[in-house]
Amino acid sequence: MAFEGLIINNNETQTGRKNYNKHTNDKKVYIETYGCQMNLSDTEIILSVLSEYGYNETTDINDSDVIFLNTCSVRENAEKKIYNRLKQLKSIKRGNPGSVVGVLGCMAERLKKDLLEKEKVVDLIVGPDEYRKLPHLIENLYETGEKGIAVKLSRDETYDDIVPVRKEGVTAWISVMRGCDKFCTFCVVPFTRGRERSRKVQSIVSEAKTLFDEGIKEVTLLGQNVNSFNDEGSDFADLLKAAAKAVPGMRIRYATSHPYDCSRKLLDTMAEYDNICNYIHLPVQSGSERVLKLMNRLYSVGHYLEVLNYAKSIMPGVGLSTDIITGFPTETEDDHKMTLELMENAGYDSAYTFAYSPRENTKSYRMEDDIPKEVKTRRLSEIIELQRKMSSKINRSLAGKTMEILIEGRSKKSDDFLMGRTDCNKSVIIPAKNNRPGDFVKVRILKSNSATLFAEQEED
Ligand code: SAH
Ligand code: SF4
Ligand code: F3S
């Protein structure tokens, strides 16, 4: 790359080239984010890197100089969405030929220069570990017309020193580690995000403190597999503990935990500190031992349920959610029934459910995708229906209970109502009264559906 070796994030003119900084650049960047929370968090890092060079964010695509799609590759549908969006961007670019179009994130990493060749509208391809290069790639494009590509994965990039540009609100994400070494056989993430690496405990804790001072009331610590967090011997439970002690007024959540190494120490730490939310997202993927083996998930159904039961025993009322893939190669009707059975035993509050989608380069890609589409769809709808019933039942049982919620904002449906979240991650709607986002409010649950609780404020 022509600009390899440049000192990034340094506004002094190291190379004698024109340098963009807050005073000389008035360009506007528009960015759409697809995929998981890690990508949302990365978008905040991207905006920070660009703001150092004077780029401001705009939410109006027609008023932008730079258009970025921060993309996801996890299933074929995720990529289809991007191809469709790129088609639409063609006409936007026709109206504004000077605008720069960049594909960032996991799809950029997976497809690399193929995407540049295939999609003529794309000017820049930048993978998840190369965001520091963005300002220079854009600048080079302006100066030379040369399209840019930066897709090297790093063993140590964590963006530890970058202060994300966050959206207004009372909750925030803190990315604590990047990458994944688990190599589940269906999953593209280890290929798009590279090897696991962790930030420093101290830097994460001080970020949480600063956020609290700025009025943030809840943070979610993010990683593809937070249990692999390791900062010179400090594991994820140590990190949680350090954060919980340093900012006792802050609610702390995390995602995502892998059942193989979701340790007792971690669960005990959650139970010990009031400000660590009693909520675990623990993706199970399948209830069949045979399928779990084929997926390289490394745990048995028995071990998984043991972890859940221990969590329930030390954190009564703990919120539980999961991810399930249906239609993995060779999945039989019996395997499918075992998944339904496991759901009954686990008693999840909610589940994210997906039809298996073969991904190039993954191990399971070499297996025949032998479950017909209609079978996947039918199994998926059975899973969704069971979860809907179970969620409704759990939520109904909460009627009359008193809970504390953190108000996040207005209800989507009406300005007269507010939406808040319980410690165990349930969405609750209450009449607005005098409450505001950021308030902790005691409420009594009145009624519910499978996704939402409706409540009234408890009078003191
Ligand atoms: N790191 C997280 C999840 C990352 S991807 C974890 O380990 O749990 C989010 C979810 O997408 C996965 O849990 C899985 O359920 C689903 N998923 C991943 N690859 C998939 C594929 N090829 N087809 C269908 N669903 C997939
Ligand atoms: Fe993918 Fe498995 Fe890593 Fe999760 S743990 S990101 S499913 S490889
Ligand atoms: Fe998608 Fe990449 Fe996240 S593939 S799920 S955006 S890590």
The tens digit of pLDDT for each residue in 241-252 reads 999 999 999 999
**If you measure from the C-alpha of residue 359 to the centroid of ligand 3, how many angstroms do you get, rounded to a whole number?**
13
Tell me which residue has its CA closest to atom 10 in ligand 1: 323
Locate 273 and state its tokens.
């500190």
- Count Cβ atoms below 10 Å from residue 155 Cβ, excluding itself: 10
Mutate-to-test residue for ligand 1 from 284, 325, 365, highest number of ligand atoms within 8 A of CB = 325
Mutate-to-test residue for ligand 2 from 75, 181, 258, highest number of ligand atoms within 8 A of CB = 258
Looking up tokens 């479950």, which residue turns up?
A: 371
**If you measure from the C-alpha of residue 226 to the centroid of ligand 3, how many angstroms do you get, rounded to a whole number?**
15
Q: What is the pLDDT of residue 18?
A: 40
Tell me which residue has its CA closest to atom 3 in ligand 3: 36
**If you measure from the C-alpha of residue 370 to the centroid of ligand 2, how many angstroms do you get, rounded to a whole number?**
22
Pick from 290, 284, 253: nearest CA to 270 = 253
Query: In this predicted model, which residue has the larger pLDDT, 128 or 25?
Result: 128
Locate 397 and state its tokens.
């049982």
Residues 6+ apart with CB under 8 A from 147: 116, 122, 123, 124, 141
Which atom from ligand 3 is nearest to the alpha carbon of 35?
A: 6
Tell me which residue has its CA closest to atom 12 in ligand 1: 323
**If you measure from the C-alpha of residue 40 to the centroid of ligand 2, how many angstroms do you get, rounded to a whole number?**
18
Per-residue pLDDT, averaged over 424-450, amounts to 97
160 with 45: CB under 8 angstroms? Answer: no
Mutate-to-test residue for ligand 2 from 180, 298, 357, 362, highest number of ligand atoms within 8 A of CB = 180
Q: Is the CB of 354 under 6 A from ligand 1?
A: yes
Q: What is the pLDDT of residue 24?
A: 63
The tens digit of pLDDT for each residue in 111-138 reads 999 999 999 999 999 999 999 999 999 9
Per-residue pLDDT, averaged over 204-214, amounts to 97
32 vs 40: CA distance, rounded Å: 9
Calculate the average pLDDT of the chain. 93
Per-residue pLDDT, averaged over 163-175, amounts to 95
**If you measure from the C-alpha of residue 456 to the centroid of ligand 3, how many angstroms do you get, rounded to a whole number?**
38
The tens digit of pLDDT for each residue in 353-392 reads 999 999 999 999 999 999 999 999 999 999 999 999 999 9
Q: What is the pLDDT of residue 20?
A: 44
Domain with CATH 3.40.50.12160 in the chain: 7-150
The tens digit of pLDDT for each residue in 267-302 reads 999 999 999 999 999 999 999 999 999 999 999 999
Domain with CATH 2.40.50.140 in the chain: 402-457
Q: What is the pLDDT of residue 14?
A: 33
pLDDT at 6 over 70: no
pTM for the model: 0.93
> If pLDDT is split at 50, 70 and 90, which confidence band does 26 have?
confident
**If you measure from the C-alpha of residue 353 to the centroid of ligand 1, how many angstroms do you get, rounded to a whole number?**
9
Q: Is the CB of 323 under 6 A from ligand 1?
A: yes
Nearest ligand to the C-alpha atom of residue 297? 2
- CATH numeric code, 171-396: 3.80.30.20
Pick from 217, 96, 71: nearest CA to 151 = 71
> If pLDDT is split at 50, 70 and 90, which confidence band does 23 have?
very low
Helices (H), 96-228: 106-111, 113-118, 134-144, 189-193, 201-213
pLDDT at 63 over 70: yes
Lowest-pLDDT range, 3-17, 35-49, 168-182, 407-421?
3-17
Per-residue pLDDT, averaged over 31-50, amounts to 97
Mutate-to-test residue for ligand 1 from 36, 187, 339, highest number of ligand atoms within 8 A of CB = 187
Domain with CATH 3.80.30.20 in the chain: 171-396
157 vs 165: CA distance, rounded Å: 18
Q: Is the CB of 78 under 6 A from ligand 1?
A: no
Q: Write out residues with Cβ below 6 Å of ligand 2.
A: 180, 182-184, 187, 189-190, 224-225, 258
Assess if CATH 3.90.980.10 describes domain 402-457. no
- CATH numeric code, 7-150: 3.40.50.12160
The kind and range of the H/E element at 28 are strand 28-33
Tell me which residue has its CA closest to atom 24 in ligand 1: 356
Mutate-to-test residue for ligand 3 from 33, 34, 39, highest number of ligand atoms within 8 A of CB = 39
Q: Write out residues with Cβ below 6 Å of ligand 3.
A: 35-36, 38-39, 72-74, 105-106, 188-189, 192-193
Nearest ligand to the C-alpha atom of residue 182? 2
Nearest ligand to the C-alpha atom of residue 37? 3
Tell me which residue has its CA closest to atom 1 in ligand 1: 224
CA distances from 123 to 134, 146, 404 (A): 12, 8, 49
Q: Is the CB of 75 under 6 A from ligand 1?
A: yes
Q: What is the pLDDT of residue 10?
A: 32
Nearest ligand to the C-alpha atom of residue 181? 2
Locate 106 and state its tokens.
């996991």
Q: What is the pLDDT of residue 459?
A: 80
Torsion of the alpha carbons at 193, 198, 199 and 205, rounded to the nearest 10: 120
The tens digit of pLDDT for each residue in 381-421 reads 999 999 999 999 999 999 999 999 999 999 999 999 999 99
19 vs 11: CA distance, rounded Å: 7
pLDDT at 423 over 60: yes
